Amino acid sequence: MAITIQQTEDLQAIHELDRACFPGDKPSLDDKKWPTHVWWTAEDDGVPVGYIGLNLHPEVASVTRVGVLASARRCGLQKRLIRTAQRYARRHAYNKLETYVLTENLASLRGFVSCGWKPLKLEIQGARQFLWLYSVLT
């Protein structure tokens, strides 16, 4: 399984993965520009099966999106993608990363916690509850 950085001008693979990983959601990546983002895909024999987006905003760096196709789940891919983003942010002189995850999304939460992320705060949006997490990059 190879993890490959993507050009922000060509996010077709990312869009397709995003739609497949969040089938009930209104596509949130389409029609947006991502000037401060870096994206990676995980590819199995050249076929994209997972992705992650890292926003290197000048003030705060955050993981904005991560997903793995159902056929490739539970093999540690989310953790590999998170660690890839962590290493990249560290190399680019960030000392902290943030993200937020729906509290009911145990698979995603466990992946971040396994990569050393810690809970920061809870945020309630209507009926949905999100846990903000942070990672100190040492």
Ligand X SMILES: CC(C)(COP(=O)(O)OP(=O)(O)OC[C@H]1O[C@@H](n2cnc3c(N)ncnc32)[C@H](O)[C@@H]1OP(=O)(O)O)[C@@H](O)C(=O)NCCC(=O)NCCS
Which residues contact ligand X (rule: CB under 6 A)? 21-22, 66-68, 73-79, 101, 105-108, 110-111, 114
- C-alpha–C-alpha distance, residues 101 and 65, integer Å: 10
Determine the straight-line distance between the first and last CA of the chain, rounded to whole angstroms.
Answer: 26
Find the DSSP H helices in the chain: 12-21, 77-91, 106-114
Closest distance of CB 79 from ligand X, Å:
4
Based on CB atoms, which residue is closest to ligand X, 9 or 101? Answer: 101
Based on CB atoms, which residue is closest to ligand X, 74 or 91? Answer: 74
Based on CB atoms, which residue is closest to ligand X, 57 or 79? Answer: 79
- C-alpha–C-alpha distance, residues 32 and 119, integer Å: 29
Q: Packing angle between helix 106-114 and helix 77-91, nearest 10 degrees?
A: 50
Based on CB atoms, which residue is closest to ligand X, 60 or 107? Answer: 107
Closest distance of CB 102 from ligand X, Å:
7
Closest distance of CB 103 from ligand X, Å:
11
Helices and strands of the chain, counted as H and E runs: 3, 7
Closest distance of CB 93 from ligand X, Å:
25
